[in-house]
């Protein structure tokens, strides 16, 4: 054992990563070499100070948000499976072929309102928080297999606040979040079946207003507790941009 | 089922993931975002988690998420705001010792932050998170020999910069 050998392995020795045999050889060398002992002591002191550095603990809100997200993804998956099973059951029961989505508009509206409420309650409005459309749009890359159009309408009082990936009907959708005074508007965007433009159609449920329309191969669902007139203004501006 | 596995395997390491993310991003806000995105990925990849220590697995996801973010944005160090507020001194020491301890902790933290990322992360994973060389090699996907040499060079550099700013007796 020489000092040169320890040049290479002093850290592995301090970290107890040498095998038993090599470790014993180092110890023998250290007994007779004050210079190498000093090197080891210095490393150990450094390690000790590093361990005393303040540890950054996860904030409570992050912890509960992640827990809620994990639970939600389970319940949504379970719902989707149940819904699929129900459709299949009805189709088989009637002896007919599956003719596409069986659900009516009513249940779809309910899902959208639920999605909106969920985003407000679980404190999970944004995965990306930014008023800059050039930050929000690229954020979806790699998370969805489509790229939602993102525009900021702050100039007319509807400011972009952020976005997140959400689930509607078991499918991932882009959720864009806009703010008008204290009101939140969720806009759910997903690819539509055709390229034809349709809508907007208006619905209301439990005090929330929903607008649905299709354009440019995307379907849009806007939901908010904002009054009808302003929501219409918002939707018109969004469709025109 | 999946949510239960997530609670049992990933959630106990959330503090470690956050601390690691905090060192990578150097910002509380960015660290929160990073951990949240990493957890969404972890949930998706949960079935790929084999038995054994989930910590290196989670660190690897946090790290990959960070580097894919950085490459999307183009720069690693844009959010390098540093706060010194949580260097609370140890109450058991007398005031002078407290000052020395506070000063040492602050200096070591600054020195570690100033270290190039490739050295900083191995020191972090080894000395602060207590991972073995083998586990660090898994996180970084490099050979153990590379881990060893980076730890050596990282500590050399740390010691050099600490010796350059003040005498080293505070380290003893």
- Residue spans of the domains in chain A: they are 3-51, 58-102, 104-240
Continuous H helices in B48-171:
54-73, 95-114, 117-123, 133-140, 144-165
pLDDT band at B172 (very low <50, low <70, confident <90, very high): very low
- What is the rounded distance in angstroms from the CA atom of residue B21 to the CA atom of residue B32? 8
Q: Which residues are registered as beta bridge partners of A184?
A: A179
pLDDT given for residue B81 in this prediction: 35
> Looking at the predicted structure, is the pLDDT value of residue A99 above 80?
no
> Looking at the predicted structure, is the pLDDT value of residue B93 above 80?
no
- What is the rounded distance in angstroms from the CA atom of residue B48 to the CA atom of residue B65? 17
pLDDT given for residue A107 in this prediction: 63
ipTM over 0.90: no
pLDDT given for residue A175 in this prediction: 92
pLDDT given for residue A124 in this prediction: 67
- Tell the burial category of B66 from Cβ atoms under 10 Å away from its Cβ (0-12, 13-18, 19+): buried
Candidate from A76-80, A180-184, B32-36, B38-42 with smallest mean pLDDT: A76-80
Closest CA to B142 of B128, B127, B156, B121: B121
pLDDT given for residue B98 in this prediction: 57
Cα of B50 to nearest chain A Cα, Å: 19
Cα of B22 to nearest chain A Cα, Å: 7
CATH for B95-166 is 1.10.10.10
Question: Which residue in chain B is spatially nearest to A75 when comparing CA positions?
Answer: B3
Fold adopted by A104-240: Protein Transport Mog1p; Chain A (3.40.1000)
Greatest distance between any 2 Cα atoms in chain A: 90
B102 three-class SS: helix
pLDDT given for residue A65 in this prediction: 86
pLDDT given for residue B171 in this prediction: 53
pLDDT given for residue A131 in this prediction: 82
pLDDT given for residue A121 in this prediction: 61
Average pLDDT over residues A61-81: 69
Average pLDDT over residues A89-101: 35
Candidate from A44-48, A113-117, A161-165 with smallest mean pLDDT: A113-117
Greatest distance between any 2 Cα atoms in chain B: 56
Domain spans of chain B? 2-73, 95-166
Average pLDDT over residues B80-86: 38
pLDDT given for residue A37 in this prediction: 92
Instruction: Return residues 38-77 of B near A (CB < 8 Å).
Output: 39-40, 43, 68, 72
Average pLDDT over residues A112-118: 74
> Looking at the predicted structure, is the pLDDT value of residue A82 above 80?
no
Asked if B97 reaches chain A (Cβ–Cβ under 8 Å), the answer is no
pLDDT given for residue B76 in this prediction: 46
Specify the higher pLDDT residue, B106 or B101. Answer: B106
- Inter-CA distances, B47 with A67, A170, B3, B36, Å: 18, 20, 11, 19
Asked whether the beta carbons of B107 and B166 are under 8 A apart, the reply is yes
- What is the rounded distance in angstroms from the CA atom of residue B127 to the CA atom of residue B120? 10
Closest CA to A163 of A192, A189, A182, A200: A189
- Inter-CA distances, A135 with A81, A199, B109, Å: 34, 29, 31
Asked whether the beta carbons of B151 and B122 are under 8 A apart, the reply is yes
pLDDT band at B85 (very low <50, low <70, confident <90, very high): very low
Q: What is the pTM of this model?
A: 0.54
> What is the domain class of B2-73 according to CATH?
mainly alpha
- What is the rounded distance in angstroms from the CA atom of residue B80 to the CA atom of residue B113? 9
- Neighboring chain A residues of B9 at a CB cutoff of 8 Å: none
pLDDT given for residue B169 in this prediction: 52
pLDDT band at A174 (very low <50, low <70, confident <90, very high): very high
Q: What is the mean pLDDT of chain B?
A: 80
- Neighboring chain B residues of A42 at a CB cutoff of 8 Å: 159, 168, 171
Continuous H helices in A52-190:
60-94, 105-121, 133-139
Residue of B6, B62, B71, B123 best to disrupt the A interface, most CBs of A under 10 A: B6
Instruction: Return residues 107-136 of B near A (CB < 8 Å).
Output: 108-109, 112, 123, 126-128, 132-133
| pLDDT tens column, B16-30 | 999 999 998 888 999
Q: What is the mean pLDDT of chain A?
A: 79
pLDDT band at A100 (very low <50, low <70, confident <90, very high): very low
Average pLDDT over residues B113-126: 92
Instruction: Tell me if domain B2-73 and domain B95-166 are identical in fold.
Output: no
Asked if B37 reaches chain A (Cβ–Cβ under 8 Å), the answer is yes
- What is the rounded distance in angstroms from the CA atom of residue B61 to the CA atom of residue B24? 13
Share of chain A above pLDDT 70, in %: 82
Closest CA to B31 of B57, B66, B68: B66
| pLDDT tens column, A196-225 | 788 888 888 777 888 989 888 899 999 998
């Amino acid at each position: 054992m020489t000092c040169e050998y320890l040049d290479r392995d002093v850290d592995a020795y301090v970290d107890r990563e040498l095998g038993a045999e090599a470790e014993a050889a180092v110890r023998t060398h250290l007994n007779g070499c004050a210079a190498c002992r000093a090197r080891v002591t210095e490393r150990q002191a450094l390690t000790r100070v590093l361990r005393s550095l303040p540890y950054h603990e996860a904030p409570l809100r992050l912890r509960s948000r992640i827990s809620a997200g994990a639970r939600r993804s389970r319940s949504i998956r379970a719902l989707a499976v149940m819904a699929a099973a129900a459709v299949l059951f009805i189709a088989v029961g009637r002896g007919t072929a599956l003719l596409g989505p069986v659900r009516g508009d009513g249940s779809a509206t309910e899902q959208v309102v639920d999605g909106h409420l969920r985003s407000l309650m679980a404190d999970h409005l944004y995965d990306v928080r930014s008023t800059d459309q050039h930050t929000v749009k690229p954020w979806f890359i790699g998370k969805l297999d489509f790229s939602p159009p993102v525009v900021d309408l702050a100039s007319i009082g509807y400011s972009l606040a952020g976005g997140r990936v959400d689930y509607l009907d078991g499918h991932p959708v882009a959720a864009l979040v806009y703010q008008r005074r204290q009101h939140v508007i969720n806009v759910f965007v997903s690819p539509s079946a055709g390229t034809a433009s349709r809508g907007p159609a208006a619905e209301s449920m439990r005090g929330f207003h929903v607008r649905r329309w299709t354009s440019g191969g995307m379907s849009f669902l806007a939901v908010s507790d904002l009054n009808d007139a302003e929501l219409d203004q918002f939707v018109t501006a969004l469709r025109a941009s | 089922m999946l949510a239960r596995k997530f609670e049992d395997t990933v959630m106990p390491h959330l503090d470690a993931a956050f601390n690691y993310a905090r060192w990578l991003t150097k910002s509380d806000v960015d660290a929160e975002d990073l951990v949240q995105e990493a957890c969404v990925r972890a949930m998706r990849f949960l079935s790929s988690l084999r038995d054994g220590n989930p910590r290196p697995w989670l660190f690897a996801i946090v790290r990959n998420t960070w580097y894919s973010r950085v490459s999307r944005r183009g720069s690693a160090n844009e959010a390098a705001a540093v706060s010194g507020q949580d260097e609370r001194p140890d109450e058991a020491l007398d005031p002078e010792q407290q000052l020395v301890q506070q000063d040492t902790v602050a200096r070591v933290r600054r020195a570690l932050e100033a270290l190039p990322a490739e050295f900083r992360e191995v020191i972090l994973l080894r000395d602060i998170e207590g991972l073995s060389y083998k586990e660090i090699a898994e996180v970084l996907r490099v050979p153990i020999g590379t881990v060893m040499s980076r730890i050596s060079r990282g500590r050399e550099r740390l010691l050099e910069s600490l010796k350059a700013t003040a005498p080293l007796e505070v380290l003893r």
